[in-house]
Amino acid sequence: MSSNDSILVKVLFFASAREAADNLSSLDLQVSTSCDTTQLRMILAKKYPRLAATVMDEESLTLALNEEYVLSGQILPLKAGDTVALIPPISGG
């Protein structure tokens, strides 16, 4: 991927998503300029097999794009410099 057809986005991993992604808290990821939130899920599933089942299930893992939740079924385009957070369900009492 040349720099003309790719962008850099930051991915933040929280809780169980961090554990499944080799304990990374964040990752600068080069993706295609046409990448969207659904494609990003697929890229992360391929890159981190332990994360695959969770990241592909919108009910199990919510994305936040630049601190705004991505609703289930919503597909948003990514832009250079975007930050995407992977937020697993929060449990507790």
Asked if pLDDT for residue 35 goes beyond 70, the answer is yes
- Tell me, what amino acid is at 14? F
Asked if pLDDT for residue 91 goes beyond 80, the answer is no
The kind and range of the H/E element at 29 are strand 26-32
C-alpha distance across the termini of the chain, in Å: 46
pTM of the complete model beyond 0.75:
yes
Asked if pLDDT for residue 74 goes beyond 90, the answer is yes
> CA angle at residue 43 from 32 to 71, to 5 degrees?
90
Give residue 62's pLDDT: 95
Give residue 13's pLDDT: 98
Within 19-61, strands assigned E span: 26-32
Distance CA 78, CA 37 (A): 7
CA 33 vs. chain centroid, Å, equals 15
